[in-house]
Amino acid sequence: MSPEDWTIVDRTPFFSAMGEALTRSLLRDRSPRCYDRGEEVFQQGEPADAFFVVLDGWIKLYRELPTGDHVVVAIFAAGETFAEAAMFLGGRYPVSAEAVSPARLLRIDGQRLRSAILETPQIAFNMLAAASLHLKQLVEQIEQLKVQSAPERIADFLVAQTSVRRGPVTIALPYEKALIANRLGMTPESFSRALARLRDLGVAVEREAVTVQDMARLAAFVEQSRDISEIQPAFDKRTICGTALQ
């Protein structure tokens, strides 16, 4: 584990609540594993004996339907964790996990974590705090998706992919457009239409890359949408039992 890896682990909601000392004692001999694009992390139906921290890359969770079709459930990036609930509930993974780009993951063994909880019960309370924080973040993400238009969601996603905040920039899409559309809560068709609507803001798409003429302009567009989202909940509270108050 490099110092950068430890920084990522410490910032996850799960381990940030646990504290550095407990985290180090639990993970001191753990080593990350590298995955190629398209490589499976685990399959639906396998014993849920661990959860994972994403150190680099992107991971998708998906369910395989009886028809043979795949439904993407979620996509996780560096600094996020997945499969915690399945591990703690026991049984088997209800979804499959696959790397959609080259990735590095840290595997957290479930039995080892349970043993640590028995030795140090405080870990359980810290984990409850982390789970509450994670739930709060998910609710905020859902609320953001509800109030943002499709172009605003895409612009927000693009701004998050680069540290550049002014001037031109070319952004390599981290994974295929269909998965980005799924992550942003839209169909591939609506994703393409929304991208086209961003042309007036200087956004152009060339295969797997997006060119932005001025990141400051796109970032301002995103900030405007966030300001509106903060006002929207207050307006919604003026509706009681389906009746709008005047």
Residue 52 neighbours by CB under 8 Å, 6+ apart:
41, 59, 81, 82, 83, 97, 105, 106, 107, 108
Partner residues linked to 42 by β-bridges: 97
Read off the pLDDT of residues 118-134 as tens digits, 9 standing for 90 and up. 887 877 777 777 667 76
Residue 106 in tokens: 């840290």
61-87 average pLDDT score? 85
More confident residue, 106 or 205: 106
Could you give the CA distance from residue 233 to residue 145 in angstroms, rounded to a whole number?
A: 13
Considering the segment(s) 148-235 as one domain, its CATH architecture is: Orthogonal Bundle (1.10)
pLDDT, position 102: 93
Per-residue pLDDT tens digits for 23-33: 888 888 889 99
In the chain, the percentage of residues whose pLDDT exceeds 90 is 33
Ranked by mean pLDDT, the top range of 64-73, 82-91, 104-113, 222-231 is: 104-113
Alpha-carbon distance of 96 to 182, in angstroms, equals: 16
| pLDDT classification of 223: cutoffs 50, 70, 90 | confident
Strands (E), the chain: 33-35, 40-42, 50-56, 59-64, 70-76, 81-82, 96-99, 103-109, 169-172, 203-206, 209-212, 239-240, 243-244
Residue 53 has a pLDDT of 94
- Among 100-109, 169-178, 232-241, name the one with the lowest average pLDDT: 232-241
Structure confidence at residue 227 as a pLDDT band (50, 70, 90): low
* Residue 242 pLDDT greater than 60, yes or no: no
Q: What sign results for the dihedral spanned by CA atoms 123, 128, 132, 135?
A: positive
**Encoded tokens for 203:** 């956004």
Name the DSSP class of 124.
H
The distance of Cα 17 from the centroid of its chain, to the nearest Å, equals 19
Q: Is 142's pLDDT higher than 90?
A: no
Between 39-43, 103-107, 155-159, the lowest mean confidence (pLDDT) is in 155-159
Question: What SS3 class is residue 5?
Answer: helix
- Domain assignments of the chain as residue spans, ordered by start: 3-134, 148-235
β-sheet with 203-206: strand ranges across: 169-172, 209-212, 203-206
Which pLDDT score, from 0 to 100, does residue 23 have?
Answer: 85
pLDDT band at 49 (very low <50, low <70, confident <90, very high): very high
Q: Which CATH class is domain 3-134?
A: mainly beta
- pLDDT more than 70, % of the chain: 86
